[in-house]
Amino acid sequence: MACGIVKFLLPPTAIHSAVYCHFFNKREKCLVVAGLNFIQVYRLNVVHSSLPVANADVNMEDVSAVTAPPAAPMSTARPSSPAFDDEDDLYGPSKNVEPPKLTAPEVKIVSTFPLVSAENIRLECVASFELFGTITDLKSATMGTSNRDVLLLSFTDAKLSVVQYDPVVNDLRSISLHDYEAAKYSDEMPTNLGAAKPCMAVDPENRCAVMRLYRTHLLVVPFVHPPARSDNSLNGPKPATQLKSFALNLKRIKDETAEFIQDIQMLPGYLEPTVAVLIHRSLSFAGRIAVSADTCYVAAISLNTHEKTYHLIWSCTGLPYNSHYLRNVPRPIGGLLVVSTSSIIYVQQGVQSHGVSVNSLAVGGARFSLKPVPNVVAVLDGSQCTFFEPERLLLALRNGTAFVVTLVYDSATRNIRDFHWQQVLVNRYVSCITHLEGGYIFTGGKMSDSYLYSYLTSQWIEADGAYLDGDPNAAAHQRSLLPKKPLLDRIEDDFIYGPEAHVTIVTSLKKYHFIACDSILNVGPCRTTAVGEPINTLEDFTRTPDKDADLVTSSGYENDSYVCAMHRTIRPDVVASFDLHGAENIWTLRSSGATYHEYVVITTVGRTAVFQSGEEISEDVEHPFRVDERTIFCGLINDGRTPVQVTRFHVRIACAAADSGAVVTELELAEGEEIAFATEGGGNRLAVLTTLGKLWLFEWHSATDSLIPSNHRELSNIAAVSFFTDRSGIFTSSLPRDVGTIDMEIEPEKPVLERMESIPEPEEDELYGLYSTQNEKSDNTHREKRFTRTQEELHQFLQEERVNAMLYGSSEWLLVVHRDSTLSIFSLPDLVVVFEASSILHAPRVIHDVRALDQLSVPPELIDSACADMRIREVLLLGLGSRGTQPYLFVVINEDIHVYHAVPFHYGRDGARLRISFSKVKHEMLTRERRLKRQKLPKEHMEVDDRLAKRHLRPFHDIGGYSGVFLCFPYSFFVMATDRNVLRFHPMVVDGPIKAFAEFSNASCAAGFVYYNSRKQIRVAQLEPGWNYDFNWPMTKIRVPGTVHHLSYHLECKAYVVCSSLFYPEKRMIIGGVDNVEEEVVERDPRFVYPQAPRFSLHLITPDEWQLVPEVSYQLPDFEHITGMKVLALRNGTETGMKEYVVMASNMSYGEDVQSRGRLILIDVLDLIPEPDKPLTRFKMKEIYAEEQKGPVTAICGVNGYIVSAIGQKIFIWTLKGATLVGVAFLDTQIYVHQLTAIKDLILVADIQRSTSILRFQEKYRTLSLVASDPNQMHTYATEFCVDNQNLTVAVTDIRQDLHIFQFDPDYYFSSFGNRLVRRMECNLGQYVTNMFRFHCAAWYPDAERVGHLALTKKHVTMFTTLEGAVGCYVNIPEKTYRRVLMIETILSNHCNHRAGLSPRLYWNAKTSADERFDLVGNIKTVADGKVLSLFMELDYTEQHEVAAKIGCVVDTLVEELLDIDRQTSLF
């Protein structure tokens, strides 16, 4: 029976929505973006090319006296105790109570800092969360006076979750869940509308949130203030709450009916929550425009959250039938914008509507007089817009063009006079637009990358002089022409709108310039995929065919289209290589101020070799190092000027003498002590750890030019040690200080259960207009002033928070792990404990200070039972990024690596402790090898051998411009970091296990590295140039002209064939019959929107330089669409052997009145001798065959040297004879075949409506016959074979994002003697899969021979790519492994954190119901979820032990089975 597992190798990268809110605290806002099933939090960061220079050493007391800001007066409304508030958070607000200071660690003051400008602003990722659901919308809201905002997430089909950040666990905490998938709501959804995705709106006064339910219902979620704060702040913050939600039926609103709710918006300024609803009174389309063109209307309804009722306030009817969405116009203008396909209409209560048309098709579509927009012809369906100023919005169209639309507002008439348009961007296909403070705008992309823009303004001068921005005389002249308002109206305006309402204001025009500051990469939508050979064939490396390939996918759309080349493992570019037996460790030394490294020190078991680095690496005989012992550590002290060597029994220092010589001194430890580990820190300190666990600390003394012991206290029973220099500013006991004008004092919450207003009966215009109390006005105004920054204020904030990150400069710390697995951080030089955590041997998710929270730790006996024979081998705490401002902690426990990120944590009872915690970073690095078949050494031998073994963690600062850590394990990894603050985990296994590693740079290898492989070779290498390593996989992008539809690799020419299309306006109409086609040119007015028709072409991409081959293309005629393109190996009857041809299937799309015909086109790509100095001129394209067929050619593939084509409702087999195709066999099929796949003589057919079927071509008898088919109806998207030795199954994806596994089983009772395919497994991927392909299973990893190397060579992995930019795979696994994985999945579905209340099992279940199938198969299994691997490995060891005990297994067995799955799917 078929058993398999699905694993995603690359997560989705498309961004659907974004909000800008106070995610962590009220101190600063963060950008929260949401993709398909993930949430990422970004903040603005500053990137500089030059680092600040430290020039002074002072004590903390002196610095605090100078740089500490004066204490603000205590607020009388704030409780006097406790000193630490329970609403503190990750980047928490400052408090006025000063904690006790630390004992003066040594710090360095930065003298000068570069200034912040818009060009060096970047997005820094500070948090990321994965959810078990498809996010359809994202909003933020503030509940009462909570110190952070909440996120509202809507999911398919009708779920809403309210979550909030929890600093205690550094994760999302679910506040409330709302599920309205009941039949009484969903049954009203007509089938012709499909599934209406939920959309949300939040009340501007944060009183409630509203979400659309299916067709005509609204979900209302009222908010209530959070409970009063507790006096005990040590248990963390209290979550916010809200009232019970309810649903409203808007099927009929007074005299108007509602057929479908198109969009909703919450209106500001009303006494009760008021929502504006865009409603279709009846559904219409372009064919009924003569009788029903104005079927939409806007209704503003007031919500009574206590009575759960609503009533109509005002409405506006007669809107176009193709109205798409609403947008709130900010104050002081107010009102709504209704955006339709051809117009924008401004509506407001009591104000005359005003609209503009962007094309001539808007005439007759609404009951409004629409003013044409000059010089603009556009279509607004699929557009996105948002206001970034009270009267200006950014409007992005679906064709990639973006405009700044200015609402010319006249306060005298309280009306919109005009809409002014300015084009600012091109080729930017936007899915969401979010306005950030300080003059920044973020645009998310599903079809392209996401960008962060900074906009600048300049003076705008119209050609006729009508608008002169900044000219007071022109503005006064315009105001003088306006009519004067009566005095009575001015008095009423003063009462309602304020004393300045009588002042006439006319919007001034400005010219905007957008500058791209940063981007977030997106590789979707992946419509097609190809696998090709890389340039570097890895001949110098251990032969790994599964890594000897590049994954090439399509990306982008139209003019912003790319081809993305990716591979998972790093392939180094080897510069030099030489043999050296027995190397154990490598160090490279570069003195202060030197450009390149001068020495390469390599140690073996009994001796040390020293090489001099120059143009070449040669062995040096005159050096100050000791060569007759094994070296434990080698580095530089005295600020990089003095070499130090630590051997097993000596510490050797070489000081420069006055006569340019070197004075060598040696320090010896006490008799009987042997050095096991050593490290340096801060440039002047050295730590030496003996095998007995005693730690010696030395400090460089400048006066005597020597190392002197600096231990003020004896440190013993130490297992691991690491120095750390903090440049982030979070290693401090002080709470963050206040910044500028941002008032961080938050009033305490009042225990209000309900919001009740008692007011006199107001006038109608006051109640339903802009009524608000004076307190609310002042509060809103105060809030806006507090949290709205200008660009200058934002840059000042970033200067103090990012550039001057450390309040007192850089500080130095010492981290030690004792043999009882407790972790301690000491301040230097006084060695005072400032952070201490209990046992970390079980790798907890969050490491807190023992004095931070009143929470129970894991019992020691449970840790001992789960972590038997485990111990901490090495720790490393360092700052990553270009400026080293991202602290990360690496912990090696046996052969497992655990990575922690240091984050601020402002809770605790002791003010002298560090206010930090360490949160585990999610990764899928499995660095161990199989344990069960390994011979274990005695424990006493393990301790001695391991202490003298090689170091696993090798930090580097500049390898190809990246900093990070290299992991020397049986399965080695690069851990890279940039200013994006996202760790990238790239394996490097092409050269086998790496035993030693160090960064290296010389004249022939700049910013490279040197390593020692398993074949006893020292290699100098560098990263491949032209590849971007700041992504999940190393990748490079190649721009392609037009949208990529098909992609294939030409093996003989070593090039990629790309089929793309570009849209152009089509003015011709095709009339006549099939054989007599005539063209008629239709001319319309200049503002008419002509239909966009694609024009297809063929191009070549060479992997030599990863660029498009110039002057080599094949253009197809107009109206001809390419439906399929593949490179097939064909037999030619006039030649011997097989030759590759590019085969294309086309369709002549003339329109519905002309019968469709197609062509089969064969193109030969020639590889000729190139012209001198022009290597790309060696490619030529030659057309071999292009004949018209009797129907549209919809799909092609190759089988045994023949061409298989789907023409109409038949499938034909063709053979090539000379330059002609000759038919061999044919078979009638279903409705529309859109994909064909072949393996040997079997052909897999995918029909758009009739599921899938298997055909067999018998070449001997020239017969094409049907083997089996699926009798159910299914909208098939992609199909592929799944090969597992002698077993063959079929994988199929459909329109519901389900994955189905079919099997040909004649013995099964339902298969009707093999005529029907049996559905064995299914699951829901949550993403649309339109492309699948097979690749042989990875069988060349180090442990492959232990699991059956020969069996893996006959096993394939079925790969697939999604429209969201994800890459996944399906692989067959043994039934025993499958059952264990399912049991783990069942346990973890209840054990893991259900973010937003989503269940992983419900998300993974197939959406296709049993009622839709004709078969009676009831025992369909669920495909195993590969996320079990990451979920299980994220657990600490005690939880893993508990899960394994529940299923009657041991942890090593489960880990090794998951390890085999990971190794077999580690492709490319």
**What does the pLDDT look like over 361-405, one tens digit per residue?**
887 666 778 889 988 999 999 999 999 998 999 999 999 999 999
- Above 70 in pLDDT, residue 111? no
Burial class (CB in 10 A: 0-12, 13-18, 19+), 755: middle
pLDDT digits (tens, 9 = 90+) for 754-781: 333 333 333 434 444 433 333 444 344 3
Identify the pLDDT of residue 1197.
Answer: 95
User: How far, in whole angstroms, is CA 1182 from its chain's centroid?
Assistant: 42
**DSSP element (H, E) containing 1072:** strand 1068-1072
- Above 50 in pLDDT, residue 545? yes
- Which of these, 1204, 1095, 1191, lies nearest to 1147 by C-alpha position? 1191
398-407, 482-491, 645-654, 868-877: least confidently modelled range: 482-491
- Above 80 in pLDDT, residue 1417? no
Identify the pLDDT of residue 115.
Answer: 53
847-861, 930-944, 1019-1033: least confidently modelled range: 930-944
301-305, 362-366, 1390-1394, 1443-1447: least confidently modelled range: 362-366
pLDDT digits (tens, 9 = 90+) for 1123-1132: 999 999 999 8
Phi then psi for residue 1300, to 5 deg, are -115, 140
- Above 70 in pLDDT, residue 711? no
Ramachandran region, residue 48 (left: φ > 0; alpha: ψ -120 to 50; beta: rest): beta
Strand order in 30-34's β-sheet?
A: 17-21, 30-34, 38-46, 121-130
pLDDT digits (tens, 9 = 90+) for 1234-1255: 999 999 999 999 999 889 999 9
- Above 80 in pLDDT, residue 283? yes
- Above 80 in pLDDT, residue 73? no
Could you give the 3-state DSSP secondary structure of residue 802? helix
pLDDT digits (tens, 9 = 90+) for 182-212: 756 665 554 444 457 889 999 999 899 999 9
- Above 50 in pLDDT, residue 744? no
Cα distances (angstroms) measured from residue 1059 to each of 1141, 1297, 1385: 14, 26, 42
pLDDT category of residue 536 using cuts at 50, 70 and 90? low
* Most confident range, picked from 413-422, 799-808, 1021-1030: 1021-1030
- Above 90 in pLDDT, residue 530? yes
pLDDT category of residue 592 using cuts at 50, 70 and 90? confident
Q: Do the beta carbons of residue 1203 and residue 1214 sit within 8 Å?
A: yes
Give the chain's count of helices (H) and strands (E): 15, 94
Average pLDDT over residues 792-816: 70
Ramachandran region, residue 207 (left: φ > 0; alpha: ψ -120 to 50; beta: rest): alpha
410-424, 1096-1110, 1177-1191, 1255-1269: least confidently modelled range: 410-424
- Which of these, 959, 882, 918, lies nearest to 727 by C-alpha position? 882
Burial class (CB in 10 A: 0-12, 13-18, 19+), 1081: exposed
- Above 80 in pLDDT, residue 494? no
Burial class (CB in 10 A: 0-12, 13-18, 19+), 421: middle
Average pLDDT over residues 632-650: 88
920-929, 1040-1049, 1289-1298: least confidently modelled range: 920-929
pLDDT category of residue 1154 using cuts at 50, 70 and 90? confident
pTM of structure:
0.87
- Above 90 in pLDDT, residue 352? no
- Above 90 in pLDDT, residue 1211? yes
Average pLDDT over residues 100-116: 41
- Above 90 in pLDDT, residue 137? yes
Round to whole Å and give the CA distance between 622 and 617. Answer: 14
237-251, 466-480, 513-527: least confidently modelled range: 466-480
pLDDT category of residue 791 using cuts at 50, 70 and 90? confident
Pinpoint the alpha helices (H) of 772-883: 774-787, 791-798, 860-866
Query: How many Cβ atoms sit within 10 Å of the Cβ of residue 521?
Result: 17
- Above 70 in pLDDT, residue 945? no
Identify the pLDDT of residue 1415.
Answer: 60
Round to whole Å and give the CA distance between 372 and 1468. Answer: 55
Round to whole Å and give the CA distance between 225 and 1242. Answer: 65
Average pLDDT over residues 1347-1370: 83
Identify the pLDDT of residue 1344.
Answer: 57
Q: SS3 string of 842-863?
A: CCCCEECCCCCCCCCCCCHHHH
- Which of these, 911, 912, 717, lies nearest to 832 by C-alpha position? 912
Could you give the 3-state DSSP secondary structure of residue 1437? helix
Identify the pLDDT of residue 130.
Answer: 92
In terms of pLDDT, which residue wins out, 914 or 804? Answer: 914
Give the rounded percent of residues in the chain with a pLDDT score beyond 70.
Answer: 79
Amino acid at 207: R
* β-strands 872-880, 1017-1022 pairing: unpaired
Mention every residue, 6+ apart, whose C-beta is less than 8 A from residue 302: 270, 272, 273, 274, 310, 311, 312, 313, 768
User: How far, in whole angstroms, is CA 1238 from its chain's centroid?
Assistant: 35
119-133, 361-375, 423-437, 1378-1392: least confidently modelled range: 361-375
Identify the pLDDT of residue 931.
Answer: 64
pLDDT digits (tens, 9 = 90+) for 1419-1459: 688 899 888 778 888 888 998 899 889 888 888 888 888 88
Average pLDDT over residues 718-725: 92
- Residues paired with residue 1361 on neighbouring β-strands, in sequence order: 1331, 1367
pLDDT category of residue 1113 using cuts at 50, 70 and 90? very high
pLDDT category of residue 1116 using cuts at 50, 70 and 90? very high
Round to whole Å and give the CA distance between 1334 and 1319. Answer: 20
- Above 60 in pLDDT, residue 457? yes
Helix axes 1451-1464, 1375-1391, angle to 10 degrees: 110
- Residue labelled with tokens 């005359």: 352
Average pLDDT over residues 873-878: 93
203-212, 922-931, 1175-1184: least confidently modelled range: 922-931
Round to whole Å and give the CA distance between 1152 and 1089. Answer: 20
Give the chain's mean pLDDT: 80
Identify the pLDDT of residue 136.
Answer: 92
Identify the pLDDT of residue 1351.
Answer: 62
In terms of pLDDT, which residue wins out, 864 or 545? Answer: 864
Round to whole Å and give the CA distance between 134 and 1367. Answer: 17
Q: Do the beta carbons of residue 678 and residue 689 sit within 8 Å?
A: yes
- Above 70 in pLDDT, residue 78? no
- Above 90 in pLDDT, residue 1049? yes
Average pLDDT over residues 3-9: 92
- Residues paired with residue 484 on neighbouring β-strands, in sequence order: none
pLDDT category of residue 480 using cuts at 50, 70 and 90? very low
